[in-house]
Amino acid sequence: MVTTDNTLDLVLGQKAQTMGDNHISTGVETPLRPDAFDMNDKEKMEIIAHHFAAIMDTLGLDLNDDSLQDTPKRVAKMFVQEIFHGLNPANKPEISAFDNSYDYKRMLVEKNITVKTFCEHHFLPITGKAHVGYVSNGKVIGLSKLNRIVDYYARRPQVQERMTKQILLALQEALDTKDVIIVVDAKHMCVSHRGIQHDESTTLTLEYSGCFENNDMRREFMDCLK
């Protein structure tokens, strides 16, 4: 085993000092430690599998059962290589901008981009759609790259507000313009499947900058979503 329970205590202790127990948001950056990627994926998966097995064991589950015995490994792989893949900056999508040779000067809207992320408070799914718009500053990027940027920031433990801001900033950077807008409409399983257990509510977050500070531009974008 690569780490010890002492390491975990230390990590959890640090978190408690910096965040308290009241889930105060830590700004636009995902709160990661500076040494977050000192370990490679394989080492991380071994440690997570070990600890997840302890969770299952504590719940009284029989880890010798055929169906359960590989679950710790499955969960570890899912965390590191699938659902939290976007924690690692090495996995940030390569985006190359090219000249807007079509001379298209209006708003471009990419609607209904799938958002599959996980609430950082409960590690339960948040599922929904993002809609992004921008006005080219002379540069354009491939349409699928808009979806890829959303997907990269979704593949982390998240709060919806932070994810929305992170995507806005990444779009500004990729497109080299402030003329960007994003709406995220998502359902939180931590609201529908536990706690209050309300199925119908969704959470809408909106971030914008540049020309979208203008009410008419924002309204035009919203009209495109109807």
Ligand X SMILES: Nc1nc2c(ncn2[C@@H]2O[C@H](COP(=O)(O)OP(=O)(O)OP(=O)(O)O)[C@@H](O)[C@H]2O)c(=O)[nH]1
Provide the token pair at 146: 């808009």
Q: Is 119 annotated as a binding residue?
A: yes
14 is catalytic: no
CB burial of 45-72 (b: ≥16 within 10 Å; e: otherwise) equals bbbbbbbbbeebeeeeeeeeeeeeeebb
**In the window 14-53, what residues touch ligand X (CB under 6 A)?**
23
Q: How far is the CB of 115 from Zn ion (least distance, A)?
A: 15
Supply the DSSP symbol for 187. E
d(CA 205, CA 122): 20
* 192 Cβ contact partners less than 8 Å away, ≥ 6 residues apart: 198, 199
Q: Please, are residues 145 and 95 in contact by the beta-carbon 8 Å criterion? A: yes
213 is catalytic: no
Contact call for residue 168 and ligand X (CB under 6 A)? no
- Which of ligand X, Zn ion, none is residue 159 near (CB under 5 to 8 Å by kind)? ligand X
Q: How far is the CB of 28 from ligand X (least distance, A)?
A: 14
158 is catalytic: no
# binding residues, ligand X (CB under 6 A): 11
Site of interaction with ligand X (CB under 6 A): 23, 119, 121, 159-161, 188, 190-191, 195-196
Query: Among all residues, which ones are annotated catalytic?
Result: 119-122, 160, 188, 190
Q: Which residues does the annotation place in the binding site for Zn(2+)? A: 119, 122, 190
